[in-house]
Structure 1
Amino acid sequence: MSTPGRTPSDWIVDRLWRGVIWVALRLPHRVRVAVMGWLFRTVVGPLTGRKRQADKNLAMVYPDMPAAQRAQITRAVLDNVGRVVMENYATPHQMTRALTWEPTGPGWAAAEQARAQGRPILFISGHYGNYQAGRAALNARGYRMGGLYRPLNNDYLNAHYIATIEDVGGGAFTRDRRGLAGFVKHLRSGAQGAILIDQYLFDGPIFDFMGHPAPTSTAATEMALKYDALLVPIYSTRLENGLDFRIELEAPVPHTDAETMTQALNDSLTARVHAAPEQWFWVHNRWKPERAEKALRRAQGKA
């Protein structure tokens, strides 16, 4: 009997994907990134339902947006997703280019001061631009920013997906008990951690995200409070050349309470998405409105 994550179909998908990556890595970097963007925009997105999911999410958040505009954003989103995947499998090239991505923003000076003092730092972002680019830019400058990640459902794919996180430096830590323990140890050593806050959490508390209830983890803000870690929103916005990024560190989120800080992080990402919707991964089922509404009613004592 096959185990979840290791079925024959999982193995076949992994072998096909390994073949695509092997071929792509033999192309010049500029070409392979563009080709992977095209592949996701024209083939992978439509076949896997990600194109449909992106359009559905856009219609929910922007109900007055014309269908043609949603379609245009969806194409740009799928192109970006494909580029991100390719860039993250071409780590040596990514790290070389990262040396030219100068971090900016009010959070940069604060992060440099905290690092000099040996204070832990939590960098928070979402699936925006290329979320690994910020890690690459800072780790190329001497940071030890490890990534906290959720494993893929396909174990075969996950084996090399982990490597794309580890190769950027700072370590990769799974979102389970063992991984969190390692992540905390890493943080307490005076190092830095990266967490993406825009993933659906089945039993997470409800927070507002782009005007809709979204189950959201408070783990990042709870860790920041417990270990006195600087909490810095970081964003890597893809530039017009399709290969480079603007790395921006916003002002650190003040330490108050986990709920207030988590909502502040959601608000920060919301503002970024509204300013450049084509940069965010609308392909994820972020809200799951029916489940979120039920959870919100339970929390309010109405169900």
Structure 2
Amino acid sequence: MAKRKTSPTLRRIQGRLIVAMIQAPLVLPYDTRMRAVGWLMSSVAAPLAGYRKRIRENLSHAVPDLPKAEVERLCRAVPANTGRMLVEISSGQEFIDRIAATPMTGPGVADLDTAKAEKRPIIVVSGHFGNFDAARCALALRGHEIGALYRPVDDPYLDRAFHDALTAIAAPVFPRGRKGLGQMLRFLRKGNALAILPDQHVNRGAPLTFFGKTALTSLSAADMALKYNALLVPVYGIRDGAGFDIIAESPIPHSDAETMMQAVNDSLEARIRENMDQWLWIHRRWKPERQRKASAARISP
């Protein structure tokens, strides 16, 4: 059966509802708005958008032995984390002030600071996990000039709100595409830092593994690290109650792009397994049906 496409009118309505759901609670005290938007995403938006079904499908594929009770908990907790993340990055200076009081820890902190002092390019990798913009904000507060690569949203209204929120935390941000790529590379070559989230399905990606399953993965972060002698460092903003643990892991050694990006996948997987409710299980990371069709096409006469 062909997949039904969402009409442009419905997408516009959905975009405005999402923006309203995020911006309206900004009148509430900080902690109250986090709880309110988390509840709205978990109890209202997720069931309507079909997110719970998608979470179940991803968990069934990646961690099929997970107890049913834990699956149901994650169906509620994952959208709640997403809602909190969205309202956090929309909270501007209040969010920045919270991160300013949070120390960055981990073995990679000294490497990051040394690279900054030497004007060596830095590529920070993470995932749609916890709130990565907490880590990006922390790096900016430590004096790093850190840009971010992001995927523009189809709806211009929602995209503008998303872009403005990201820019308020740290600038610049570069949209995926030829123009954004050129700007991003010029920025990186000057010895700045670049934040990339490579935990999304890429049609022409390398067939690496993630949770023991084939996951097509972009090699661009490792390719750039090798080409420009950039430090490649996994950094995470892991939710801890009302705050965060911001952790910089040891840099990934330069070798070849596939080996380096497999190390990125392994690093993120280990962090997710410790905090299953903080990763975006809503995203279609694996797409096994598409991979099976592609394999069949390659071996057919």
Residues 197-223 of structure 1: per-residue CA shift (max 9 Å, x gap): 101112222111111111111110001
Q: Are 1:282 and 2:242 matched, yes or no?
A: no
Aligned residues: 296
Query: Are 2:63 and 2:211, in contact at CA under 8 Å, matched by a contact in 1?
Result: no
Residues 74-96 of structure 1: per-residue CA shift (max 9 Å, x gap): 22211111100110111211111
Residues 2-53 of structure 1: per-residue CA shift (max 9 Å, x gap): xx99933333233333333332111111111110000011011111011111
Q: CA deviation at 1:66?
A: 1.8
The residue aligned with 2:299 is 302
User: 1:208 & 1:128 partners in 2: Cα distance?
Assistant: 18
The residue aligned with 2:252 is 253
Q: CA deviation at 1:72?
A: 1.0
- Counterpart residue identity of residue 191, structure 2: G
Change (3 A) 1:209 1:297: farther
User: 1:295 & 1:137 partners in 2: Cα distance?
Assistant: 41
- 3-state SS, counterpart of residue 106 of structure 1: coil
- Counterpart residue identity of residue 63, structure 1: P
Aligned counterparts, 1:1-303, within 5 A: 7-240=8-241, 243-295=242-294, 302-303=299-300
User: 2:296 & 2:199 partners in 1: Cα distance?
Assistant: 21
Q: CA deviation at 1:103?
A: 0.8
User: 1:132 & 1:196 partners in 2: Cα distance?
Assistant: 11
Q: CA deviation at 1:271?
A: 1.0
- 3-state SS, counterpart of residue 247 of structure 2: strand
User: 5+ unaligned residues in a row in structure 2: which ranges?
Assistant: none
User: 1:152 & 1:5 partners in 2: Cα distance?
Assistant: 14
Once the two structures are overlaid, the 10-residue window that deviates more, 273-282 or 231-240, is: 273-282
TM-score, normalising length from structure 2? 0.94
User: 5+ unaligned residues in a row in structure 1: which ranges?
Assistant: none
User: 1:90 & 1:235 partners in 2: Cα distance?
Assistant: 20
Q: CA deviation at 1:136?
A: 0.8
- 3-state SS, counterpart of residue 299 of structure 2: coil
User: 1:38 & 1:121 partners in 2: Cα distance?
Assistant: 37
TM-score, normalising length from structure 1? 0.93
Q: CA deviation at 1:170?
A: 2.7
Query: Are 2:19 and 2:161, in contact at CA under 8 Å, matched by a contact in 1?
Result: no
User: 2:50 & 2:9 partners in 1: Cα distance?
Assistant: 21
- 3-state SS, counterpart of residue 27 of structure 2: coil
Change (3 A) 1:9 1:144: same
Change (3 A) 1:15 1:75: closer
